[in-house]
Amino acid sequence: MIASDPMDSHFRSRAWLPSTSGQIRKLLRGGLVGLVVSLTTGCIVADPLYCSSNAECVQENSDGPALICHPNKHTCLPFKEGTCATNADCTSSTASRCLRSADENDGQCVPCLVGDANDKSCVSLLGNTAQCAEVGGVAQCIECRASIDCPSERPICDANKCRTCREHKDCEGELKCDGNVLCTDSMVCIRDGDLPEGNAGSCARNELSSSGRVIYAHNGNPNCSDVNPAYGYRFSEPVCSLTRALDIAQSMGRRYVRVLGSNYDPVTKPITFGTYSFIGAPGKNYPTMAMMKGRGLLFNVQDDAVVTIEQIDMTEQNVNAVALSCVGNGSSKIPSFTLLRSMLRGSTTPAFANALNPALLLNECNARIEQNVIGLTSLSEAMSATAAAHGTGIRVADQGMSTKTGYRIENNLIAGNISTGFDVYQSASPTQRFLAQFNTIAYNGRQAATRPGGLLCSAFQPPNPPMFGHNIFFGNMTIAGSQIGFGASCKFVNNVVGSSDTSPETGLRKFNPEFDDQFLLTDTAANRTCCIDQAVLTEGDSFPTLDVRYQPRPSGTAYDIGAFELQQAK
C-alpha cells in the first residue's frame, strides 16, 4: 500500500497545478521522446512514460480525465470515478480499504482486513478508536463493541457506533464518564445546562474523590446505610434516605442525587442553597420510576436553591395538603425549581369539602414545569366519585416585583383534581414572565363549589397578564357555564374549550375534543378539526419538541393542541 499523496484531492477535483517535474516535463511537453544525458561513467535514458508520483501526471490546461501514477506500473493512467487512490477515497464501513495491486483490481475499495494490525483504513474512516471486525459475517469498520470502547463525549455503544447518552439508563455498566474517567453504573446522563463546564451527553462521573458528581440513594438495597460515611458515592453502596443523600450532596458539592426504589419519606428540611437534581428515572433493571410517599411537603425549595426533580412518582398522603413548594424571599433571594417527567398524586377525595390547597405551590420562584401528570392518569378515574387526587393542581401566587421570577408550564396533564386545575388568582405581578402552553386541563372540579374547575385567573387586571397558549380545557366544572373564572385578566392564544362553554374571551376556540381513557387525542374528524395539527410555530415562538409521553412534536403538518401529540405516519 502506498502512502497518501497530500495533493491527490486537488488532482481529482481537476484543480490542476503547474508541473514540478523540471526539465524532463518541459521536454515531454515539447514532443521529445527521451533525453540522453552524457556522463563520464556512462549514460542514462529517461523513460518518457515513467512516473514516480501523482505530481508527475499533472496536465496543464487540459480538459481530459484526471491522471494518477499507478504504484506498480509507474505509468500515468486515468482516474476513474468510483475508484480510489488512497484509503481516504473509500467512505463505506464495508469497503474502507483502497486496494493497490498490479492487476485490474487496482484502485478498488474493498473490506478492511480483520486482525491485520497494518490495515489502518478504519482509522481513516472512523477515527483512532475504530476497529475492523466481522459483524453478521461481513468484515467492516466499527467504532465499538461495548460502551467501554467509546470516548466520554460519546459514551454509549449503539449498533457498533458511539453516541451521546439520551436517557439516564444509558449510563449503566462500565463506560467512560465525563473527563474520560472509567466508571461503573453512573446512571446519570448529563443534560444541557446542568453543569457550568457543559459536558451534555456524557455520563456523570461517580468516583469517591472530590471530582465525583453523584450521590446514590437506594432504600431497596439491603446494604444501604445512612451512618457509614463511605456510603452514597457508589451505586453498589447507597444511602437509604433522601435527607441523608441531600446532606452529603451539600457537604461534598455534588450535583446529582440518583434515586432508585420506593416508599421514600419526604426530605425533612427545606432546601435553601445549592444546585441539585433528584433523578428517579427507571433503569435497565429497574423498570419503574422511584416512588416517594409522605405527609406534608415532600420537597420545600427556598431562598436561592436550584432544584430539579426528574422522573419521581410522588404521593401526598395528607388530605388537602401542599406536596411541592417553591417560595422565594422577596427580590433578594429567588429559588429555581424544575419538575420534569414526574407524577404527582394526592389523597383528597370529592367528599372532603372546600379542598383548595394545591399539589404544587409557586410563589416568587423561577419555575419550569414540564411533562408531568398532576392528579389522575385516566378518564375513568376522573369520572369516579371516590378517586383521590389533589385539591388544586397548580397554584402560582406571585405578587412580587422581581424580574428574576418566571414560570414556564407546558406539556402537563392536569386532570381529576377536586377543585381547580390551574389557579393564578393571586398572581398579579407586573414583572412576572408567565407562559402556560400545550397542557391538557381536564375533568377538574369534582365537587360542587363556587370555583370553576379549569382555570381561575385574577380578579384584578394585571399589567402583564399570564399567557395561556394551545391548551385544552375540557370537562372541568363550570360556573355560570364557564370552566374559566375571571378570564379577562388572562391572555389566550389558540386554546380549546368545550362547545357549550360560555367563556367570551378571544383565543378560546370552542370544540369538543375526544379522548381515550388516558386522555390521548384519538384520530377522529372532530379532533382533526379542533386539536390535531392546529398549532403553527411562528417567529418568536418556542414550542416543545416532546409531548407528555416523551413522543416527538410535531408529528404531522403542525403541532397538536394539548399535552399529547398524535404520532402520525410519515
Cα separation, 219 vs 234, in Å, equals 14
Would you state the cell numbers that stand for residue 189, as one nine-digit string?
446522563
Which pLDDT score is estimated for 26? 36
Residue 281: exposed, middle, or buried by beta-carbon count in 10 A (0-12, 13-18, 19+)?
Answer: buried
The CA–CA distances, whole Å, from 239 to 48, 204, 253, 463 equal 81, 18, 17, 49
Are the CB atoms for 359 and 339 separated by under 8 Å? Answer: no
For 131-160, give one letter per residue: b (16+ CB within 10 A) or e. bbbeeeeebbbbbbeebebbbbebbbbeeb
71-85, 93-107, 253-267, 432-446, range with the lowest pLDDT:
71-85
Least confident interval from 103-107, 285-289, 338-342, 553-557 = 103-107
**pLDDT higher than 50, residue 8:** no
Mean pLDDT of 210-214: 90
- Bigger pLDDT: 182 vs 464: 182
* 64 Cα distance to chain centroid: 51
Distance separating alpha carbons of residues 67 and 224, to the nearest angstrom: 71
**pLDDT, mean over the chain:** 88
Euclidean distance between CA atoms 92 and 140, whole angstroms: 9
Asked whether residue 30 carries a pLDDT value surpassing 70, the answer given is no
Q: pLDDT-based confidence at 428, cuts 50/70/90? A: low
- At 84, the pLDDT band (50, 70, 90 cuts) reads confident
How distant is the alpha carbon of residue 548 from its chain centre?
14
d(CA 194, CA 208) in angstroms, rounded, equals 20
- Would you state the pLDDT for residue 9? 41
- Predicted confidence band at 342 (pLDDT cuts at 50, 70, 90)? very high
Looking at residues 155-174, what average pLDDT do you find?
95
pLDDT average, residue stretch 210-234: 94
Q: Give the global pTM.
A: 0.82
Backbone φ and ψ for 183, nearest 5 degrees, come out as -150, 165
> What DSSP string runs through 403-422?
TT-EEEEES-EEES-SS-SE
Residue 36: what pLDDT? 37
User: Of 200-204, 404-408, 429-433, which has the strongest mean pLDDT?
Assistant: 200-204
* Residue whose C-alpha cell reads 398522603 in the numeric block: 317
Rounded CA-CA distance 20/9 in Å is 17
Phi, psi angle pair for 129, to nearest 5°: -90, 0
Q: What value does the mean pLDDT take over residues 57-61?
A: 74
Q: How many residues does the chain have?
A: 570
Q: What does the block give as the cell for 110?
A: 474493498
Higher pLDDT, residue 43 or 533: 533
Residues 107-132, mean pLDDT to the nearest whole number: 87
Which of 323, 341, 465, 331 minimizes the C-alpha distance to 392? 323
pLDDT tier, 34 (very low <50, low <70, confident <90, very high otherwise): very low
Q: Which residue has the cell 375513568?
A: 380
- Amino acid of residue 558: A
Query: CA torsion angle for 84, 87, 90, 91 (degrees, to 10)?
Result: -160
Report whether pLDDT(16) > 80. no
Q: From CA 161, how far away is CA 144, in angstroms rounded?
A: 6
- pLDDT value of position 335: 96
Residues 6+ apart with CB under 8 A from 568: 555, 556
Under 8 Å between Cβ of 423 and 456: yes
CA angle 475, 314, 218 (to 5 degrees): 155
CA angle, 368 then 443 then 450, to 5°: 95
